[in-house]
A and B are shown apart, each in its own frame.
Chain A
Amino acid sequence: MSTTIPRRDRPKQAAKAVKAVKPGTPATSQTASGRHSQRWLAWIFLAPTILGMGLFTLVPIAASVVLAFFRWDIISAPTFVGFDNFAEVVQDPTVRVSFLNTIAFVIVAVALQLGLALALAVMVQEKMPAWLRTFFRSAFFFPLILSAASVSIFMRYLFNEQFGVVNWFLSLAGIPAVPWLTTPGGSAAVVILVYVWQNFGFSFLLFIGGLASIPMETYEAASLDGATGWRKHVYVTLPLLSPTTLLASVMAIISALQVFDQPYVLTRGGPGDSTRTAVMVIFESAFQRLEFGEASAIGVILTLIIMAITAAQFRLSKRFVFYQ
């Protein structure tokens, strides 16, 4: 039990596939006609994906950017309005609050999600019976397979003020009923908790993978130098894990910026605008108020934010991430 199990004992093909790095090009046939027929086959094979992506992703991206400069309610003809949509969006208090909500949500939810996932991953990866490790990994992974809508449905009952299970447990500890879903602070807390509950397992899996790739010898060397317990994690685990941490935070931030299902089902953005998010505003201005140009402008702004954060994180990584 105490030696490292050879990696090959998990014979999953996917794992093998992911390992391959160099773009291999098997010599199918090196003759001119062989290369010619390869090219033909390649384009036939690519056609569905390329055409589909062009139609349903690339053209819509371009259309979204163009539409952001028009006023259009689908019924009458679109009129060019220049930067009016952007100006309106920036001044609109609801949109502003929603973006601020989204940013606050991302900061709190991602910090909780990564902190929890990292702590649990470190605890799971240290020595313990194999069956227990399997149990914990499955348990933390489980919420990922559920639908955010279903989760939000049952969480809404659990956080009910009068007969919710959460308040019942709190009352056992002598804490008076918390108005979870009827106050701005309470609903923001519920949206964050429900989101983190469902998504920490993804970061957890990433951290488990990162931890497993830290070579044992590093820990042995550290303990020879007298590092124990916490110090070992602070001086060995954290620096060596930084590439995984970067990746996990980029992915967590990008997905948190797009949060919709949980606040929509739990609170519909309320009370007031307290849990309204950027994507909810896109949804409402397009499909409830039929202001498609304005919705596109908000979408363009959100995409720019996502791209800027991604770029910033990779730039930062050059300075702070320690690659072996």
Chain B
Amino acid sequence: MTTTTERVSTRTPAVPARSRRRPNWNLVLRIVLLMIAAVLTLGPVMWTLSTSLRSPSESFKLPPSFFPWNPDFTSYAQVFRQLDIVLLVLNSALVTGLIAVGQMVTAAMAGYAFANLKFRGRGALFSIVLATMMVPVQVTIVPVFMLIRGMGLSDTLLALILPAIPTAFGTFLMRQYFLGLPTDLAEAASIDGASPWRTFRSVYAPLAVPGMAIVGILAFNFHWNEFFRPLIMTISEQNFTLPLGLVSLQGNLGTGSISVVLAGVVLSMIPALVGFIFGQRALQDGLTAGSGK
């Protein structure tokens, strides 16, 4: 249960004090190896960014560039011409935003019920919810596709949004979150004569916002990047989301326009980057939260 909390504690192995002069070879070696790993991890992304800032005709020239010394924005202008990127961004934002909000609300409600309300069958129901986490999306996709067709929603954005709103993981996270809040708040409220609804509304709902934010950020990150479901559920290009649009752009263009495709890739990364800069801790905590079971 405690793994995520303690991730960061600084550890100093009991190393006997040595003379100051001698360099710590262990530390140097570790940092060199870690640096190599970091360069291999970030290098491809740096190359993508700096190549997108070369002119299309220079984009595949070697040696490769990893730093955009002379940024050239022609590729960005071109990607807007070759791809209806505004529509793609709007679709992606609409789909992802509605899924995130839907998950935040439904997960908060269900999580609160599982954590703080008493009802028969609570344990069994929660187990079923957890069990659904193990079923891969590919297994249910065929019946979901038919269900969506039956509802007359095929090739609409709703086909992507509705099935993604009920969330087992989000419910699990919110339940854990509510369990972590002090219970004397509820006691105080009930002594004051508040109904269960009132207790939720005025005591717990305001406190739930940080937990809901984690659910929302995780949902946004996951569905913004999602490829499999949009590939199946959307047919016409006007309903494509960003990853789908970019993959089809790469298919349509030859290798001559690398920088144009990469400009699109970089644009699609911006929300993820913003989330990375401002919500990294929340993302890390959320992603590994299920691990404490």
Contact = CB atoms under 8 A, between A and B. Distances in A.
Does B bind A? yes
B17 to A, nearest CB: 11
Contact of B173 (A14, A44, A45, A52): A14
A191 B143 CA distance: 29
A92 to B, nearest CB: 17
User: Secondary structure of the B side of the interface?
Assistant: helix
Interface string B34-50: 10011011101101100
A17 interface: yes
A56 B47 contact: no
Nearest to B49: A154
A234 interface: no
Contact of B162 (A56, A206, A260): A56
- What size tier do the contact residues of chain B reach? 35 or more
A29 B119 CA distance: 13
A27 to B, nearest CB: 6
A197 B190 CA distance: 52
Contact of A145 (B31, B33, B110, B276): B276
Nearest to B105: A48
Contact of B163 (A56, A67, A292): A56
Interface residues of A, number: 133
B177 A306 contact: no
Contacts of B221: 145
- Chain A interface mostly helix, strand, loop or mixed? helix
A223 B132 contact: no
A315 interface: no
Given A24-B115, A232-B13, A299 B255 contact: no
Nearest to B225: A147
B176 A296 contact: no
Contacts of B145: 286-287
A49 B107 contact: yes
Given A49-B106, A60-B140, A209-B3, 15 more contacts: A13-B210, A13-B211, A18-B289, A48-B105, A49-B167, A50-B110, A51-B166, A53-B168, A57-B135, A61-B139, A147-B272, A150-B265, A160-B255, A165-B62, A261-B228
Interface of B: 1-15, 26-27, 30-31, 33-34, 37-38, 40-42, 44-45, 47-48, 51, 60, 62-64, 105-107, 109-110, 112-120, 122, 125, 128-129, 132, 134-147, 149, 162-163, 165-168, 171, 173, 176-181, 183-187, 189-190, 195-197, 199-200, 210-211, 214, 221, 224-228, 231-232, 242-244, 246-247, 250, 255, 258, 261-262, 265, 268-269, 272-273, 275-276, 280-289, 291-292
Interface of A: 1-5, 7, 10, 12-29, 34-35, 37-39, 41-46, 48-53, 55-61, 63-64, 67, 74, 116, 120, 123-128, 130, 132-133, 135-136, 138-151, 153-158, 160, 163, 165, 168, 197, 201-202, 205-206, 208-213, 216, 219-220, 223-224, 229, 232, 244, 247, 251, 254, 257-258, 260-261, 264-265, 279, 282-283, 286-287, 292, 295-296, 299-300, 302-303, 306-307, 310
